[in-house]
Each structure stands twice: as C-alpha cells, then as structure tokens.
Amino acid sequence: MLIEVKATLRFEDTLLPLILMSDGTHLSNFAGYKIEWPVYMTFGYLSSKIRQMPSMHTVAMIALLPIPIKNCNTPPMRLDEQWQPNREVLNEVLRCVFQPLTFLQNPNAERGYFNVLGADGNFRRCTPVIAAWVADCLEYTELHHLERHVWFRCECPKNEFGDYDPSDKQHPVRDHNLYRTLTDANSKAADAELSSCHVHRGFNVFGPIPCIASDLRKPNLLHQMQIGLLDHLQKWIFHFMKTHERLDMYNAFCLSVPAYHDLTPKNKSYEEVSQWNGKEMKK
C-alpha cells in the first residue's frame, strides 16, 4: 500500500505512515474491576530506536475503546447473539475515530491530503496511510469480524495450522474487499461463502480507510513468541520429562542455573508456579 501511495505523491508531498497499537490493560481490582482498552498511535517514519524510548513520548493515546460487559450470566446458546452487537459497537466507535482519514466530512479539502503544521513552523501536505496495527490475536479477530481461532492473514484452514508450509506455497491472503462485497450482497449464497472463510457479516471499519486490511497485522515478538510459543514449549517439555521420568532431573537443573545480568536464578520449579505471568515469568 505504501508503495502504491508513494507513486502518486507529488513534489514536496509527505507520506505519513501511521502505526496503531491497541491492547487491553488492567487498572485495578480494588476500586471495582477497572480495565481499559486504549488505542495508541505513532508514526512509522521515526527511527525505531527513538520510538522505543519511553522518554521521547512518541506514542499518543487517541481513543479508549468500549469494553463489552462480561458474559458470565449469558447462556452459551445466546453468546453469539451478544457478540454480534459488540462487534458492531466496536466498529462504530472506530469509524468515528478514523473519520478524518476517510475525508468524507470535508468535501472541500483535496482528497487524500492534509495540511499539517510541522515543527519548523511550515505547513506540509501529508497523505496519511495506516501501515500497521499491533495487537493480540484475539483483538485482531474482533476488529476484522473473524471467527475465533482462525488465522487472519491468510485463508489457512484450521486443521492445517500445525503443518509446515514453505514460504513459496502459502495460502491466499485474506481479501477484505471481497468480504465487504459479500456482506453488501446480503444473500444466502454470500453468507455461506463468508462462513466458509470463517468471517462474520458486518461493516468493516478498515474498508474506507487507506490501508490494506490483511497487511495491517505485523508479527509481534512479545505476544507471539515470548508469552506465546515459548510458553507452549515449556509446557511440552514439562510433559515430555514427566512421561519419561526425568522431571526431578529437569527441575534440579532449572534451579541450578546461575544468575546472569538480568537473569535471576529461579527458586520455584515449573509445577510449583501456578500462573506463569508477570513476576514469575521474569525469573
């Protein structure tokens, strides 16, 4: 997308790649169960070294998304009915947030451009493009009206997740424009097609915004590797050692690992730690 937009730029225009990030956070247990779901925004042209520095304040909070009520009292049969309005509310909120990017509210402005006041005091003509959206798997499925536990980048069927596919023959990338036309068609055949792709019906906020929806997702080292797959791996190794009666030895080695820089020696074995989160993860 960036490359296509770059080709249309005129002399002295500026491309503004926006990186959006969203993640739920937990504020307090004591003063009521308070959680927030903020959306942050930063610019893609910043050096990643500067962007990662908290003291540079490169990340700005632009919205707090609505958090749906807990469904603990809803019977499981009606959960699907509850999720549909949740998704619609979420998309409506996001539509309000991104309305300036769609250029619909100001027909006088030249389409696709903003006049932005720069730090040097001059105005620049900028073309904003959403380049990335960094979030969890779960948030992403909600943003894109996908069913749970499906993969949002390509149309890989659920029973082939574990197979190795080399990079030259991969499944087709999800086409969100197609889904939108299918949703608009509002016929039975279209619905069947949507459900075969594991997609829910509904308005997708990323349609009118300049971006490629399936490319927004970027690999996220923290969530997908560190607390994702490595966590799985640790569990597998634990079970593996247990079945082969080597658990005592494994635990003893775990506890005997000496300290190194920020690696503090552990004082609990895997089974003694009930929840691998926060502080325990660090150890």
Partner 1 sequence: MEWEGDEKMSWYLVGVVPQSPRGGSPAQRPVFNPAIDCTRALLVFYMYARYKSHDDATLSYMEDALHHFHTFKDVFLLGRAGKKSKAKANALRTELMKKRKDDKETDAETWTPSKKRREMNAWPDDISHKIHVPKELDVNFHFPRIHLMSHWVKQICRYAALQQYSAARHEQAHQTNLKDGWNASNHNVNYLPQVITFLHRILSFEIGELNRKGPAQRQENSAAACTVLHSGADLAAPLGSKSYAKPEFMGPQNRRDGKHPDTIINDVRALLDNTQDATHRVAIYSSTREFILHKSYNNTYISDEQLHAMELCIYHGIKVQVEGLDGECISEMCRCTGSQSWRGGDQPNDWVWVRQRQGRCYGALNGCLQWQLQCLFKIKLLNKDGGFVEYWLALVLTTIPENSGNLDPVSNFVELRKVQSAVALQVFSVGNIVGCAHVIPKVATSSKTGDRRNERWTVNSHIDLATSNDMYN
Q: How far is the CB of 111 from partner 1 (least distance, A)?
A: 27
Q: How far is the CB of 54 from partner 1 (least distance, A)?
A: 6
Q: Helix or strand or coil: residue 123?
A: strand
Site membership for partner 1, residue 101 (CB under 8 A): no
Chain positions 65 to 84 lying near partner 1, rule: CB under 8 A, are none
The Cα 17–Cα 9 span in angstroms is 13
The Cα 15–Cα 115 span in angstroms is 12
# residues near partner 1 by CB under 8 A: 93
Tell me the one-letter amino acid at 240.
F
Site membership for partner 1, residue 121 (CB under 8 A): no
Site membership for partner 1, residue 159 (CB under 8 A): yes
Interface pick for partner 1 out of 15, 97, 126, 156 (rule CB under 8 A): 156
Site membership for partner 1, residue 163 (CB under 8 A): yes
Site membership for partner 1, residue 59 (CB under 8 A): yes
Nearer to partner 1, 45 or 123 (CB): 45
182: CB partners within 8 A, 6+ apart? 190, 191, 193, 194
How many helices, marked H, and strands, marked E, lie in the chain? 10, 7
Report the interhelical angle of 176-185 vs 188-196 (nearest 10°). Answer: 150
Site membership for partner 1, residue 96 (CB under 8 A): no
Nearer to partner 1, 147 or 184 (CB): 147
Site membership for partner 1, residue 281 (CB under 8 A): yes
Site membership for partner 1, residue 151 (CB under 8 A): yes
Chain positions 198 to 257 lying near partner 1, rule: CB under 8 A, are 218-230, 232-241, 243-244, 246, 249-250, 252-257
Site membership for partner 1, residue 122 (CB under 8 A): no
Q: How far is CA 115 from the centre of its chain?
A: 29
8 Å CB contact between 188 and 198: no
Q: Name the E strands within the chain.
A: 13-22, 25-28, 34-36, 38-43, 60-64, 114-117, 123-134
The Cα 255–Cα 269 span in angstroms is 7
Site membership for partner 1, residue 45 (CB under 8 A): no
Nearer to partner 1, 125 or 223 (CB): 223
CA torsion, ordered 111, 112, 115, 119, to nearest 10 deg: 180
Nearer to partner 1, 104 or 233 (CB): 233
Interface pick for partner 1 out of 137, 194, 199, 216 (rule CB under 8 A): 137
Site membership for partner 1, residue 7 (CB under 8 A): no
